[in-house]
Chains A and B, each alone.
Chain A
Amino acid sequence: MSDTPDYVEGDLVAPTLERPEGPAEPPDGAEGTRRLHELWVAGTEEPRWLAAATDEGAQEILPADVDPEVAYEAGAAVVDDYVAEPEPAPDERQIINLGPQHPSTHGVLRLQLELEGETIRRVKPIIGYLHTGMEKTAETLTYLQGGTNVTRMDYLSPFHNELCFSLVTEQLLGVEVPPRAQAIRVLMTELNRVASHLIWVATQGMDVGALSMMLYGWRERERILAFFEKVTGLRMNHNYIRPGGVAADLPDGWEEDVEELLERLPEGIAEYHELLDENPIFLDRTVGVGVITPAECHAYGITGPIARASGIAWDLRKAFPYSGIDRYDFDVPTGRHGDVYDRYLVRMAEMDESLKIVRQVLETMPAGDYRVDDAKVTPPPRKRIDESMEALIHHFKLFTEGFKVPPGEAYQAVESPRGELGMYLVSHGGSKPWRLHVRTPSFAAVQALPVMLTDSLVADLIATLASTDPVLGDVDR
């Protein structure tokens, strides 16, 4: 292969290549042998050369017309390792990639595993496949628009993201939301916690082989999402909790809907207990698997159900109460062993506690306004716009320019279903955040995966990964 594409620098191409065993030349027309990582396009004579890179760093798909030899040299074309070394020594370590596209990675996560037989000796999480620069985007959106951005980070608990963003903005604004808005926020976030844990128990069950769990978990979650849709208009990514309150009051008849949820959900949860609690396969796959100690939790910033399963009695709703959640009576369940099974028990118990809070919110929902009556922060009521020029101006300014937030910096953390979700907001006084950093619980959990996985078996990896409940949109942002 003498013709080097002109965009490849010369020194990158070796003149001759000694290839391992395998087809020496790319297939010639339809007669050639099929090679690994080759895409045959139906109805054409020629195979299209689309060598996908598995080498770290070279993440681009090479153009279809690139010289295969160049691609091979660049590490973008891969020849099957087993062809290269047909009989690896038994004690040899090999590196295997799990993901980025794998159903058990709960998103686009790649784990580089160094294996000795079936035992994992080293793990390297590689993230960033879902990175879309949401923190940069946040700097270009007003505080009113910011909710639409943050709600998409952790798509399984959007209300917690919105709540955290609203609270940190309200800290700098110096605004206190009325009691009804606080109660609505608690109602929605606690239902969201149940919905998120339902997804978790569904996928955890599926990942260790309890496929029916998958169907049941999503079925119950759908009931909650139907309620969310009724309240906010959307099943996910609601942008319902906003700085200054919530977007709209609860719809008529919400009490009956919540009542029905409170009746149906515990029935479902009882079923899961029956399915999994003493299921011998589930116990085999989860007991003593993926252990993390309290000291490791501290060092790696692990919070939430994972830390509580390790015996750390720490819940931000109790420690730094927000949105009036300290008015409600609930317990913080903790485990003792820090393994996957304890995480299961903790999350199942948390669903009961969340439903307990929802019951109390239902019984004590205060009357009043669902957002602060401050025309600088929230839009004026519709009828005032017809009567008052001031209200019209406020409304217009609010939705074009947005409100200004005094200079300063603040950190707010809420207990999301995955642990401490924190937002650090820096304002230089404008109507857009100068900097919004999101401290996400999934990021810390993915970082700590090597701690939980080193020297365990590959099969346990799937159970452990599922038990950390990572949301990769939240990790990569």
Chain B
Amino acid sequence: MTDEVHADEVHTDEGSSAAPGHPTLRALAEAFPSVGWEEFRPPAGPYQPIAHVDRGDLVAFLTAARDAGFETFVDLCGVDHLGRRPRFEVVIGILSIRDRLRLRIRVPVPGDDPVVPTITGVYAGANFYERETWDLFGIEFEGHPDLARLLLPDDWEGHPLRKDYGVGSVPVQFKAAHRVR
């Protein structure tokens, strides 16, 4: 394998919503004009293209991206920007081994309606990640085959990674079996 080349190949204005220069991404940008694009080039670190996708377009966009070469599912997580609008964000990472290219997809999710369509139909590996995000953020993934809590017990109350779920202000659970199924 040769050295990383993409940081040199791709030339677009930083932070603009213009389509990125990599041919795979440019094709995606043309197919989905509503998607906003962004790039992050740290002085030390890899080139990171970012796509801002609406939740309505998410499944179609990911299907197109998978077919365009992003065959590897990497990551899915939630972010709670409490105090900003929209409040939540679901961040998905996918990878094209052929193009040696990563793509980060940011999906804004409103705080009063935290629902996102599931992407398990596109990437089977998103299953546990969506369950974890539901568990810790309370973001619902519509159509998920088994949206149960993953890391916390089934009868846990609340979603701890939300910013309004305080640290230390929560009574210790498990003290006794007050509630049994």
Q: Give A residues with C-beta under 8 Å from B.
A: 7-9, 12, 55-63, 66, 74-76, 127-128, 131, 133, 135-136, 140, 167-168, 170-172, 174-177, 295, 297-303, 312-314, 318-322, 326, 332, 408-413, 420, 422, 424, 426, 428, 434-435, 437, 439, 443-444, 446-448, 476-477
**Which residues from 25 to 56 on chain B have a C-beta closer than 8 Å to any C-beta of chain A?**
40, 42-46, 48
Please give, as numbers and ranges, the residues of chain B lying within 8 Å of A312 by CB-CB distance.
97
**Which residues from 145 to 181 on chain B have a C-beta closer than 8 Å to any C-beta of chain A?**
149-155, 160-161, 167, 174, 176-181
| B181 lies within 8 A of A58 (CB) | yes
| B77 lies within 8 A of A63 (CB) | no
| A301 lies within 8 A of B74 (CB) | yes
Given contacts A58-B181, A60-B174, contact A439 B40 (CB under 8 A): no
| B176 lies within 8 A of A447 (CB) | no
| B124 lies within 8 A of A299 (CB) | yes
| A63 lies within 8 A of B102 (CB) | no
In the bound complex, CA of A439 to CA of B73 (Å)? 11
| A422 lies within 8 A of B74 (CB) | yes
| B151 lies within 8 A of A314 (CB) | no
Please give, as numbers and ranges, the residues of chain A lying within 8 Å of B178 by CB-CB distance.
7
| A7 lies within 8 A of B150 (CB) | no
Which 6 pairs show the lowest CB-CB distances between chains A and B? Answer: A300-B125, A171-B42, A74-B180, A128-B151, A437-B77, A171-B45
Residue in A closest to B100 when the chains form the complex, CB atoms = A319
| B181 lies within 8 A of A57 (CB) | yes
| B45 lies within 8 A of A170 (CB) | yes
Residue in A closest to B2 when the chains form the complex, CB atoms = A318
| B75 lies within 8 A of A437 (CB) | yes
| A62 lies within 8 A of B177 (CB) | yes
| A299 lies within 8 A of B125 (CB) | yes
Please give, as numbers and ranges, the residues of chain A lying within 8 Å of B42 by CB-CB distance.
170-172, 174, 410
Interface size for chain B: under 10, 10 to 19, 20 to 34, or 35 or more residues? 35 or more
Q: Give B residues with C-beta under 8 Å from A.
A: 1, 3-4, 40, 42-46, 48, 71-75, 77, 79-81, 91, 93, 97, 100, 102, 104, 123-125, 127-128, 136, 149-155, 160-161, 167, 174, 176-181
Taking the closest CB of chain B, its distance from the CB of A372, in whole angstroms, is 11
Q: Once A and B bind, how many residue pairs between them come within 8 Å at the CB atom?
A: 153
In the bound complex, CA of A176 to CA of B44 (Å)? 6
| B71 lies within 8 A of A63 (CB) | no
In the bound complex, CA of A428 to CA of B43 (Å)? 19
Taking the closest CB of chain B, its distance from the CB of A198, in whole angstroms, is 27
Residue in A closest to B45 when the chains form the complex, CB atoms = A171
Q: List 27 A-B contacts (CB under 8 A).
A: A12-B180, A60-B174, A61-B177, A66-B177, A74-B180, A75-B180, A128-B151, A128-B153, A133-B160, A135-B136, A136-B160, A140-B167, A175-B44, A177-B44, A297-B72, A298-B71, A299-B73, A301-B72, A301-B73, A301-B123, A411-B48, A412-B46, A422-B75, A434-B81, A437-B91, A444-B125, A446-B128
| A176 lies within 8 A of B150 (CB) | no
Please give, as numbers and ranges, the residues of chain A lying within 8 Å of B97 by CB-CB distance.
298, 312, 314, 319
Please give, as numbers and ranges, the residues of chain A lying within 8 Å of B150 by CB-CB distance.
127-128
Residue in A closest to B7 when the chains form the complex, CB atoms = A320
Please give, as numbers and ranges, the residues of chain B lying within 8 Å of A322 by CB-CB distance.
45-46
Given contacts A321-B4, A326-B3, contact A167 B45 (CB under 8 A): yes
Please give, as numbers and ranges, the residues of chain A lying within 8 Å of B167 by CB-CB distance.
136, 140
Please give, as numbers and ranges, the residues of chain A lying within 8 Å of B75 by CB-CB distance.
301, 411, 422, 424, 437, 439
Given contacts A66-B177, A128-B151, A319-B100, contact A301 B125 (CB under 8 A): yes
Residue in A closest to B177 when the chains form the complex, CB atoms = A60
Q: Which of B44, B127, B161, B180 contacts A8 (CB 8 A)?
A: B180
| A300 lies within 8 A of B93 (CB) | no
In the bound complex, CA of A153 to CA of B176 (Å)? 29
Residue in B closest to A447 when the chains form the complex, CB atoms = B128
| A60 lies within 8 A of B176 (CB) | yes
Given contacts A8-B180, A448-B125, contact A128 B152 (CB under 8 A): yes
Residue in A closest to B161 when the chains form the complex, CB atoms = A136
Please give, as numbers and ranges, the residues of chain A lying within 8 Å of B4 by CB-CB distance.
319-321, 326
| A131 lies within 8 A of B152 (CB) | yes
Please give, as numbers and ranges, the residues of chain A lying within 8 Å of B177 by CB-CB distance.
58, 60-63, 66, 74, 76
Please give, as numbers and ranges, the residues of chain B lying within 8 Å of A303 by CB-CB distance.
72
Residue in B closest to A420 when the chains form the complex, CB atoms = B74
In the bound complex, CA of A146 to CA of B46 (Å)? 22
| B74 lies within 8 A of A318 (CB) | no
In the bound complex, CA of A326 to CA of B3 (Å)? 8
Residue in A closest to B174 when the chains form the complex, CB atoms = A60
Taking the closest CB of chain A, its distance from the CB of B33, in whole angstroms, is 24
Please give, as numbers and ranges, the residues of chain B lying within 8 Å of A76 by CB-CB distance.
177, 180
